[in-house]
Every structure is written in C-alpha cells, then in structure tokens.
Structure 1
Amino acid sequence: MKYKMLVLDMDDTLLNDNHEISEKNKHFISQAQAAGVWVVLASGRPTPAMQSYARELNLHQYGSYMLSYNGAVISEVNTGKVLFEQSMPKEDIHTLYDLSVEHKLHIITYIDGQIIAETDFKYIDFESQLTGMPLKKVPSFKEAVYTSSVKCIFLEEPERLQVVAPLLQSQIKGKNVTTSKPFFLEVTEFGIDKAASLERLAKHLGINQSEIIAVGNANNDLSMIEYAGLGVWVDNVTPELREYADVIVASNNNDGVAEVIERFIL
C-alpha cells in the first residue's frame, strides 16, 4: 500500500516529554514530505499552539494543514486560512459551566485568543504554559463567554475526573466528550472529532481512507486511529486502548513517529 497522508497527534505522540520534536522524527518527516506524503498535525491544542511546530517541520512549504481543537478547526499552515470550523453556541457553554459548578469541577474555554477561567487550578496553568496562550482570569465565566467557542475543557485531578466523567457524559447531550490527558475532559460540538475532520480534509485533497496513516496515544485520537487505513499507537498509549490500533510502535520518547515512516512510507 502506498500511503499518501500521515496524520500525527502532537502531545505524547510526536512530541517527547519535553514537548520537543526529536531530530530523528524531524529527519524522517522531512523525508516523507519529500516523497510526496502529506504530513498533517491533529491535536486537541488550539491552533496558535500548533503553528510553531508546524513551521519547524516545514509543513508550510508543502502547503499542508492542521486539525486543531480536536478537529473543530481545519486550517492551512502557510496562510492560516480556515477551511472548516464548528463552534458551540455560548448558551451551551453556559450550560457546561453550570455542570462544572454542580460537580465542583474547573472549566475553561477559549475566547479572543485567550484561555478563559473563573478559578485557579494547577492544570489550568498547565494548559496556558503548554499552549503559550494567555490566561484570562475572570470574575464571571458566563459574562466572559459572550460568544461561541470551539471547545471547553473540564479539569480535575485524574482520579476524580475518571469517576465523574461517565456521569458528565450522560448529562451532556449533543456534544462530543473525550479525554486527551487524564486531567482534561474535552467537549466539542456533536460530530466533531479528529476522524470527522480528517475525513473532510482527505476528501478535499482527493485521498482515500485506505491511504492514510494516523498516529496517536490517547482517547481523543481513537476516532482517527479507527478511521485511518493504518491506525498506529505509540507505545505510551493509554493502556486500555492498546487493542484498537493496527500497529504499536516505539514511545513518544523513542522516536515512534520515525519508526512509522521508516516502516510504512519510505
């Protein structure tokens, strides 16, 4: 099989634990692009938090794309042009806020290029540090959320979030709910996930499902792992997900992405 597209999750997949792209991964990604393969980043991260990595990989030189906010936005790396965007109405975000109060959880969303939060919490600070986006602490979350947004995140200690998540998922209707890290429960509009946006992009580029490799490590990657012609986990995948991929390669700290390219593309 000649694969035409390689879709990469970022955190804990392409990026090592220092949030860096290894030289070996960069080398093999460069080789794949030179061979005519589309390399696409697909992340729960906001678009601005993906751009520097995309340019580090020279995706802009090949006219490639990013799927950000778990697929809620598809954009061109070079121009920033948005091909697709699906937001949640502010009223729905206000409802999610009410649930966060009911269950004593922290909640954030993204407005005007800022992370909006009403509470202080170490994982909110982590999201700001991870994405490089400014954190705006507000006295009233609902008043600050005056317009639609593409994503909300509930945040809590992993042990508690794991217990509360099934209840939240039963209460949240008409949305997609998934985890990216053990302390993040992410909510996007119904029908929005990495697979749905990958399918949109593939159709835009005239690429068949069977010609796609997707690589990830967590629950928010599962949809694209199952959608792609070849679904690949890195070895540090969330343990209960291991059975769902076609292949498991080396971990994010051991150049798993390079292994994928070497074995299946070059």
Structure 2
Amino acid sequence: MSGVKARPIEFLLSDLDGTLLRPDHSLSPRTLDAVRALRDAGVAFSLASGRPPRAMLQQIEALGVDLPTVGFNGGSIVNPDGSCLVRHHVPVAAAVTALLLFEAQPGIETWVFADDQWLLRDLDGPLMPLERQALGYAPKVVGSFDEYLPRIDKIVAASNDHRLLMALETRLQARTSGQAQASRSQPRFLDVTALQADKGQALVTLAKHLGVSLERTAALGDGGNDPAMFQRAGLSIAMGQAEEQVKRQADVITGSNLEDGAAEAIERYILQR
C-alpha cells in the first residue's frame, strides 16, 4: 500500500447485504465482535445499503450503529432519530422509462419503494418471499404505480436471470443518462435511483459530517453500487465473492461473506493500523 493507504482509518462505511451479512442475512459472531472492536478503537462506523432505511433497523441495533446511515444506495441518509439528513427521489421521467422497460420483460419482478413502503402489482414473483424475509416487512399490492411517481426512492428489477439484468442495466443507463442511476446491487437486483443517490457522495457527506478527511476513510462492499465508495475512500476493500469488475476497483480483497470476510478486513486492514 502507498503511504496514503497506510494511514490510520478513522471512519469505515460498509455495505450490508453480501458484505456484513451472510447469505442467510444473519450477522456472524465474529463480525459483531469486529465491529465492536472498531468502536472500542475509536473508529467511526456506519452502513451504506441499497435497502430502505426501514429495513436496516435490526442490523443497526445489532451492530450498535449510532451515526447517520445510508439507504437506497445513497438516495437517503437518515439520522439516528429517524430524521433525514439527505433525500433524493427518482425523477418522474426516469421512473416511467424504467417501469415501462421492466414491465415489458417476462421474468422480471418490478418493485417500487416510495412513502416508506414496498410496492408491487402482484405477489406471484418467486423472489418476493425471499425479499420479504430480508427486509422484515411485507409489500403492499397496488393496481398502478402512477400516484407514487413523484416520490419514488428506488425501483428494482428482480430476476434470477443475471444476464438479462446485465443487458437491462446497459439499456437503462443509456436511456436515463443524466437523469438517474442504474446499477446491480446484487447479481439478481437491478436498482434505479436518483442521479444524486451515490454511495461515494454519501461517504463524502458523512466524512464531512464527522470531520474526517477522506484519506482516513475506508469503504467495504461487494456489489456494483460499491465502487462509487471505493473511488472516494482512502482505503477500498472488496469482498471475495464480488464480481471481477468490482474487485478490480478495490485496493485490497478480503474473504467472502461465507468466510467472515468483513471481519477479516476490519481485523487485518483497519485494526492492525
């Protein structure tokens, strides 16, 4: 590592799903211990996720996070008291473009997050029960998304056809360029968020909020929305199971989320400094 990368880390911003959480969405004892050790060492710690803020409360409590947390890939930053530090909605034109594209594709489940609710048009999708378990609350079935268009925090195309999502990601990025962001937070999820909804900018905002220079920050993640953090952080760490294009943008690679890779990263690259 360079001299800059070797400086002590004062703030770690970590992804949640696929990073801190195991595939069954649980936190391992080693991960809990590692985060506790961070706090004991005086290192600030928070979460940045594609999840709605409402779906992070259990993990926030378990990890003892007492700082603002980032939801919707940076579309919202929520203070510990529940008030919003930052909030960005998907522009209506981009939302309409994404919804028309997704709903025209067989095998795609289209989910909309707005007004602190998870909205969908039917309950038939095979991924819906898994997402319900992960989020910890049930979706609301609506006949149309139209009334929510001005207030959408995130749209998700969900599918087990990873190649289809990659193709849709490319098409949507071209169609909504300059309006919104489209990125795969996980191989089976394509997220559409506001252009300002960026984990990298969220890292900048929180570092400034904490009075920490960016060169003394670290970012940890595994998804296609995490390199935005990597590009801003003084130290970037990719999970072992991340796609190669994500790993290539990180300074170091840790183990997978099946191998307590997040805890390994905290112990090896942050606490040992």
TM-score (norm 2): 0.89
Is residue 16 of structure 1 aligned with residue 52 of structure 2? Answer: no
Deviation string for 1:119-148 (max 9, x for gaps)? 4312233322211232112222224x2541
Query: Which of 90, 94, 97 is residue 95 of structure 1 equivalent to?
Result: 97
Match of 2:85 in 1: 83
Is residue 48 of structure 1 aligned with residue 54 of structure 2? Answer: yes
Shift of 1:251: 1.3
Shift of 1:95: 3.5
Shift >3 Å, 4+ stretches: 89-92, 101-106
C-alpha spacing 1:4/1:127, structure 2 compared with 1 (3 Å): same
Which AA in structure 2 matches 1:257?
Answer: A
SS in structure 2 of the partner of residue 244 of structure 1: coil
**Between the two proteins, what is the percent identity of the paired residues?**
31
Deviation string for 1:157-206 (max 9, x for gaps)? 22322233212221123111110112211111113210011111111111
Shift of 1:219: 0.5
**Cα contact 1:6–1:38 (8 A) shared by 2:** yes
What number of residue pairs does the alignment pair up? 261
**Cα contact 1:72–1:85 (8 A) shared by 2:** yes
**Cα contact 1:115–1:128 (8 A) shared by 2:** no
C-alpha spacing 1:103/1:210, structure 2 compared with 1 (3 Å): same
Matches within 5 A, 1:149-168: 149-156=152-159, 157-168=161-172
Deviation string for 1:40-89 (max 9, x for gaps)? 111101101111111111113xxx12111101111123x12211111124
**Cα contact 2:169–2:184 (8 A) shared by 1:** no
Shift of 1:226: 2.0
Is residue 121 of structure 1 aligned with residue 121 of structure 2? Answer: no
Between the aligned partners of 2:267 and 2:130, the Cα distance in structure 1 is 33
SS in structure 1 of the partner of residue 137 of structure 2: coil
Match of 1:254 in 2: 259
Shift of 1:103: 4.2
Between the aligned partners of 2:172 and 2:143, the Cα distance in structure 1 is 24
Is residue 39 of structure 1 aligned with residue 45 of structure 2? Answer: yes
Match of 1:68 in 2: 71
**Cα contact 1:215–1:233 (8 A) shared by 2:** yes
User: For structure 2, which runs of at least 5 residues remain unmatched after alignment?
Assistant: 1-6
SS in structure 2 of the partner of residue 109 of structure 1: strand
Shift of 1:102: 4.0
**Cα contact 2:31–2:263 (8 A) shared by 1:** yes
Between the aligned partners of 1:164 and 1:178, the Cα distance in structure 2 is 10
C-alpha spacing 1:133/1:113, structure 2 compared with 1 (3 Å): farther
**Cα contact 1:235–1:249 (8 A) shared by 2:** yes
C-alpha spacing 1:88/1:146, structure 2 compared with 1 (3 Å): closer
Q: Which moved more, 1:85-94 or 1:252-261?
A: 85-94
**RMSD, aligned CA:** 1.8
C-alpha spacing 1:101/1:230, structure 2 compared with 1 (3 Å): same
**Cα contact 2:230–2:236 (8 A) shared by 1:** yes
Between the aligned partners of 1:81 and 1:37, the Cα distance in structure 2 is 24
**Cα contact 1:8–1:42 (8 A) shared by 2:** yes
TM-score (norm 1): 0.91
Structure (1/2) with the larger helix percentage: 1
